[in-house]
Amino acid sequence: MDQSENERRGLGTAFVVFVPHAIQTARAGPFCSTFQYADTNPADFARLPDEASGAAWAFVKAAVSGPNWPHPWARDNLSRWCRGRAHVSLFGTTLRPFLPMVTGLQHITHLRRLGACGVMTSMGKINKAGWRFRHLTLWCLILGGNVAVAAPRRISKDLQQSSEPQLNVIIQYRVPPTRAHFARVMAKGGTLRQNFPAINGGVFTVNRNVVAALSNDPDVAYISLDRTVRATATVTDLYDQAVLAPYAWSKNLSGSGIGVAVIDSGISSGRDFTLSNGTGSRIVYSQDFALGQSTTADLYGHGTHVAGILAGNGMNSHGSAFRKTFMGIAENVNLINLRVLDQNGTGHDSAVIAAIQKAISLKSKYNIRVINLSLGRPVYESYKLDPLCQAVEAAWKAGIVVVVAAGNEGRNDSAHTDGYGTVAAPANDPYAITVGAMKPMGTSTRADDLIASYSSKGPTLFDHIVKPDIVAPGNMVISVLASSNATLVKAAPKNVVALSSYSSNSKGTASYFTLSGTSMATPVVSGAVARLLQKNPSLTPDQVKARLMKSAYKTFPRYSTAKDPTTGKSYTSQYDIFTVGAGYLDIQAALSSVDLAPATLGSAKSPAVARDRSGNVYLVTGSSVLWGGSITWGTSVVWGTSVVWGTSVSGESVLWGSSAPWGSSGDNGFSVLWGTSVVWGTSDQNVTEAIPIEIEGEK
């Protein structure tokens, strides 16, 4: 049968190879020649003998070649032959490979010649052949299917370490899951809470003691906890001037006709979200995904503030009685309110994934072109495995620009990294636009603006992706007040903007509130994206990202210092690529630009970085990535010459010399960033750090 027929049947292509390297043999017999390759089916495997004296044990590695491979028949037959006599270390994990008997291979039909490949763990009783080995290099018996790694590699580390008897887990599959997949979970006592087609998975409640067994399902790609996510605000003014938003207003670009999904703690309706004539509402759809109270209103006080920065029209501060009007960046966008955070500002991965999935399904109905995620959690694994990141990528592939807050851990030096490597998930995903926070410094000019020291810095853990992508005003931002009973408002009543400060009428109810954080910077960028898409509706997510990054303002000081008024501790920020990304959002430059990046999906993926033997950190760009080899979109053009500090001998753009702030290879900070450690510690630590920043901001 040919390969295409294999794929239609869901079968893999079996390779059987046995090649000793530099063997001297007196009497090799039938094992001397290179073994061959077989197109196989269940009947072929069934003919292999259960026992064979003089057998050699071989190591099995599975490689995908059929959409539904490996099938149970392959797994079951291989397990019959497995004797468990050898363990092989693969990528640092001890595996118990499949060890079928080699002597039965002559029974496999359709043999074809194949080149050298393979390893054996033991020669068993073949010593009667009289072989003498100078160098024994054996590759593996390869069966079409997925890499046969041990179950723990399919289970997230935090899930492996959990001691809770009942767990909510997200299971991602290698193929779109069917009822049969879910039935296998339920047969082990699991309960399906929600199906997630967007990530080929679902969220289940299971007993801890069945997780390992579930991971043995060959169709399971990864199992992780349904983790807690949190708002990335901390409890302005002048932020619109800092990014030159008035230019867009002068061009009558207000985001009209664009739908933006705000996935947050809900949006409380009010005058600032009415239509341009002051009637109706631009909150065109609302749905609750959070646990607890069933409402789409904002009980925490975060989502409404975010929505106000993005889309507030200032109706509560407009008119002759007001000295100042607090408007959002794109005051005419339509808002899709998807509530995932409860009254305490916390939620779970599953709620965010469900909300992203809903936004994708509503894309056509409400012209949803942007998703705003002013939330996050610590990074536990590569973005390629993280279900939250996979949901973000599903939205990106659906043509939706996803804008995500970097996080507020830039001061976190618990791992001795000076706050580097603290970008949150899903901000660590290279497809998303990740936003850091700047301080407008109380002036209308951007020339004196500085980075907020709490703004999380890259590179990302595990994948070493350059983040953030861009920075925007996020410190002490004034926006819409959800209600006087919202949790954040009760926690920081002093952050309520006094009516007398912007109105000649001292009687009335205050309508605005001050918060700080990358949560606040994110909707500034989302509003800019909405304006850009109003002007150029055909732009792809990659083209939007590339345009914003290239047109960003790139003039910064080399260093700045901020002092915490409570602790007295000073924090020095360096204006490098991992702190400010490609620069400071410039709406006027983005709207004026005619640069158009290739429309290829993934062309504007944030690049990774690597470290050479000299200690230099440099960009790793592929030929399919926008920043790879184009003069128009080269690294110094997009990120500026101030953050690209030179060129290595091999021609890479060097970002840092050997005196990198995380130290040398012997330092703990080095192993955290370039190893597999987690910077943030526990989620409780994250909470206690973030909330004071949210409320107090940074002077």
Catalytic residue numbers, as ranges: 264, 302, 519
Q: What is the distance between the alpha carbons of residues 121 and 85, in angstroms, rounded to a whole number? A: 9
CA nearest neighbour of 128 among 56, 45, 208:
56
Q: Are 296 and 287 in contact (CB under 8 A)?
A: yes
Closest CA to 191 of 173, 205, 208: 205
Alpha helices in 381-517 (DSSP H): 387-397, 487-491
d(CA 217, CA 298): 41
Burial (Cβ within 10 Å: 0-12, 13-18, ≥19) of residue 576: buried
Provide the 8-state DSSP code for 256. Answer: T
Which tokens in the block code for residue 586?
A: 């410039």
3-class secondary-structure state, position 150:
coil
Q: How far apart are CA 6 and CA 612, in angstroms?
A: 43
- The single residue listed with the structure tokens 């363990």 is 87
The contacts of residue 72 (CB under 8 Å, 6+ apart) are none
Q: How many residues does the chain have?
A: 699
**Residue of 448, 265, 276, 258 whose CA lies nearest to 370:** 258
Q: Phi/psi of residue 144, each to 5°?
A: -55, 125
Contact 320, 488 (CB under 8 A): no
Residues 285, 367: Cα–Cα separation, whole Å: 12
Q: Tokens 């291989």 — which residue?
A: 78
Residue in the structure block whose two tokens are 């047109």: 551
Which amino acid would we find at residue 492? A
C-alpha 2/C-alpha 416 separation (Å) is 56
Report whether 283 contacts 273 (CB < 8 A): yes
Whether 596 contacts 550, CB under 8 Å:
no
Q: Which amino acid is at 221?
A: A
CB 573 within 8 A of CB 562: yes
The tokens describing 172, both together, are 């991602």
How far is residue 212's CA from residue 378's CA, in Å, rounded to a whole number? 24
- Amino acid identity of residue 29, one-letter, is G
E strands of 26-126, at which residues?
36-38, 57-58, 60-63, 88-90, 93-95, 111-113, 120-122
What is the distance of C-alpha 517 from the center of its chain?
19
Q: What sign does the CA torsion over 263, 264, 269, 275 have?
A: negative
- Give the CB-side neighbour count of residue 694, counting CA atoms within 13 A: 26
Q: Are 264 and 340 within 8 A, CB to CB?
A: yes
Mode of pairing for the β-strands spanning 228-231 and 201-207: unpaired
Query: Nearest Cα to 585, choosing from 542, 557, 555, 551?
Result: 551
